[in-house]
Structure 1
Amino acid sequence: MASQNPVFIPGPTNIPEVIRHACDIPTMDHRSADFPPIFDKAKSGVKAVLGSATGEVVLFPATGTGGWEAAITNTLSPGDKVLAARHGMFSQKWIDMCQRHGLDVHIIEAPWGEGVPVAAFAEALAADTTHGIKAVLVTHNETATGVTSDVAAVRAAMDAAGHPALLMVDGVSSIGSIPFKMEDWGVDLAVAGSQKGFMLPAGLAIVGISQKALAAMETNGLPRCFFDLRDMLSGVYPYTPPVGMIHGLSVATDMLLSEGMEAVYARHHRIAEGVRKAVAAWGFSPCAVTPALYSDTVTAIVTPEGIDAGRIVTHAADTYGVAFGAGLGAVAGKVFRIGHLGQMTDVMALAGIATAEMAMADLGLDVGLGRGVAAAQDYYRSTHAAPARAAA
């Protein structure tokens, strides 16, 4: 029998049946009059989720990494200076991509478990009186460490310095799950992927573009072809679109907006808090160094010294058929991750917590069977909300 267990990785996430069926449509002539309404509906839904009234949205057949590449190649030129922090696996990957494209990356190092160092960014921006920095990169939600950074504070630092750089935000594991306000925060390029908060299979890179970023496209010098935003904004999809995925995205945004984005955010926070109550009951701590940084989409759990966290992930998969996230990069073997985003409910979260407890108990960790589950149950019962049927 094929496993019917939910996954507890920070993406790809569990796919609601209505979205899975929405992706399963007959072959369509994408040059016919039938496709534009589907395409336009998906884009308008994404704009509403992003909080963008005046910007544009493009949908590439790719993943979030393709969205990163589109953001930098369409707005920057060889040798341009960009400001970025390295504080986790995905912030490092974006830095690496910029360097491969010949950009001059001013890197501010921060410990894994910390967020974007806003004060250091503010200092670098204030010192850049000639405005040599052309873009500021922010990983909103660092999936490797379970850390959410303050994008609004970065924008405030840029404004305080009177700096005209573009603000580029990796929102792959945040958009559609935790608060994201593209226009309120002055984000110029927002990157998401279909397989996280949008609850689809992997396959779509989603890029929100401000009017300021659109203007930068006219003077940039980095080459691009497949990821050329100008082609994507020409009014006609420039190559064969993934019609089923785009139709699924239109349904996914309907589901999110029908639930209400504030309700979506509140649901994710409640579920995450329950997971964190369980972690505390086990006697462990999140990798994120302060509660202000705790992610509501993934919790990276630090295991005791001498315990290989990867064994917990492997044992849970082999014995119970449940997937948790392994530690990555500098925290490999030191943390395991519970993803709690997308299609997720209290009941599903409790199943994940219980399975993690069983796996750890099997391996000899003194977590106390039922201890974490009870802590999460107490929290969920005390903060009970009606079932979020639009996301179930």
Structure 2
Amino acid sequence: MSGFKGLAVPGPTNMPFEIRRAMDVALEDHRAPDFPDFIKPLLADLKKVFQTETGQVFVFPGSGTGGWESAIANTLAPGDTVLASIFGQFSYLWVDMCRKFGLNVDAIECEWGTGVPADLYEQKLAADKEHKIKAVLVTQNETATGVTSDVKAVREALDRTGHPALLFVDGVSSIGSIDFRQDEWGVDVAVSGSQKGFMLPTGLAIVGVSRKALAHRPEGGLPRCFFDYQDMAKTNADGFFPYTPATTLLRGLRASLDMIFDEGLENIFARHHRLAEGVRRAVDAWGMSLCAKEAKWNSDTVSAIVVPEGYNANDVIQTAYHKYDLSLGAGLSKVAGKVFRIGHLGYLNEIMVLQALGGAELAMRDVGLPFTPGVGVGAAVEYYAATGQAEALAAQ
């Protein structure tokens, strides 16, 4: 089929031509004497995206999963207790990794479509008088269900109970797209990846680490080598890495940061909210619902759309891909076959969202879902037109 393929999954996201061009370079010497002139400003600018002045941001070759592993291996010891909650596939996978590392996980099972239960966290933290809980896990954006949780509320629970546990945040599909404030929210380790808000190919685990976490080396801790924060901090200080870095991706990351700063973080957060709201208006017009149970959980980076009873969401996904060259996100685990997902993050504007909605409507019509073709796209068009006019007037 001629034309571009549509990519509407929540990662990898669409890659700007500016980033492609930045990576279309000859391979370089990562031990060259002028390499630090490139790396030091790059790492300093990453701190601005994480909104930290006191912490450090490390870049490992890998994915978000590698970033999770780094958080565990550098700060915890076998048998340590961590507090977590499961409300989607990715929050589950983080818990599963902790168990594989021999940690004692107090995992709160939540309804899928809800998020982190900050009130229950506070109850458990208050009851933990001996401070056996060593880390608290928060998935800021559960990509499988399109749910965003309140990281600040968890920090406040830690503060009210006077609990010293480390705060870990999975920000893979939120950092760079949804408001995240590492210093203000007292986050000790924040994990992201290159293929979401940073608009790059998969291949970099980008991890923000607080001073507290960097200094935390528990006796009898887990083994670490590739993901060792101390080794990375020591060599990064001189503008190098303890092993061969993914230099081509780092060149793309430089272009990504330039684009982020040119738009401005606050404008990026507002753009993501506006684009996401257009998708939500479309879903409502279709007479369908989101997996997110309440508006307070709605994600601004991905919407998981529940198909009507008696229909299989995978039929929509397969039809969209094979007939219309559009990739939609599949439902995972408990919501497999029940939802299809539209990713709306990264390098994105109104017409790209409308393309995804139009393609979804074509596929839904073909598989017989009950809706009126055009109503979803129309609702999004009306919303974008009205809010675009409001923004134009405000700028005058």
Range of TM-score over shorter length? over 0.9
Equivalent position amino acid for 2:341 in 1: R
* 1:329 matches 2:338: no
Match of 2:285 in 1: 281
Distance 1:34 1:322 in 2: 43
Contact 1:74 1:217 (8 Å CA) reproduced: yes
Deviations 1:310-360 (A, max 9, x none): 110110000000000000010000000000000110111011101100100
Distance 2:119 2:250 in 1: 40
CA gap of 1:164–1:34, structure 2 versus 1, over 3 A, is: same
Match of 1:68 in 2: 68
Contact 1:3 1:321 (8 Å CA) reproduced: no
Contact 2:308 2:369 (8 Å CA) reproduced: no
RMSD of aligned residue pairs (Cα, Å): 1.5
> Aligned-pair distance for 1:6?
3.2
Match of 1:256 in 2: 260
Match of 1:110 in 2: 110
> Aligned-pair distance for 1:80?
0.5
Deviations 1:37-62 (A, max 9, x none): 22223212211011011100110000
Aligned-pair identity in percent equals: 56
* 1:343 matches 2:369: no
- Determine helix, strand or coil for the equivalent of 1:255: helix
Deviations 1:122-163 (A, max 9, x none): 000000011000000000000000000000000000100000
Equivalent position amino acid for 1:318 in 2: H
Match of 1:164 in 2: 164
Contact 2:196 2:345 (8 Å CA) reproduced: yes
Equivalent position amino acid for 1:137 in 2: L
* 1:314 matches 2:318: yes
Distance 1:254 1:45 in 2: 9
CA gap of 1:178–1:385, structure 2 versus 1, over 3 A, is: farther
> Aligned-pair distance for 1:203?
0.1
- Determine helix, strand or coil for the equivalent of 2:348: coil
Q: Runs in 1 of length 4+ with deviation above 4 angstroms?
A: none
* 1:305 matches 2:309: yes
CA gap of 1:366–1:273, structure 2 versus 1, over 3 A, is: same
Contact 1:83 1:135 (8 Å CA) reproduced: yes
Distance 1:47 1:39 in 2: 13
CA gap of 1:322–1:78, structure 2 versus 1, over 3 A, is: same
Contact 2:77 2:218 (8 Å CA) reproduced: no
Equivalent position amino acid for 1:174 in 2: S
Deviations 1:273-294 (A, max 9, x none): 0000000000001100000110
Q: TM-score if structure 1 supplies the norm length?
A: 0.97
Structure 2 residue runs of 5 or longer lacking an equivalent are: 392-396
Distance 2:25 2:104 in 1: 45
Match of 1:390 in 2: none
- Determine helix, strand or coil for the equivalent of 1:251: helix
Distance 1:360 1:16 in 2: 29
- Determine helix, strand or coil for the equivalent of 1:323: strand
> Aligned-pair distance for 1:366?
2.1
Which residue, 245, 257, 274 being the options, matches 1:241?
245
Contact 2:12 2:201 (8 Å CA) reproduced: yes
Distance 2:168 2:255 in 1: 27
Contact 1:38 1:246 (8 Å CA) reproduced: no
Match of 1:124 in 2: 124
Distance 1:34 1:3 in 2: 42
> Aligned-pair distance for 1:234?
1.1
Aligned runs of 1:41-56 on 2, under 5 Å?
A: 41-56=41-56
Equivalent position amino acid for 2:25 in 1: I
Contact 2:54 2:211 (8 Å CA) reproduced: yes
> Aligned-pair distance for 1:246?
0.8
Q: TM-score if structure 2 supplies the norm length?
A: 0.96
Distance 2:263 2:102 in 1: 43
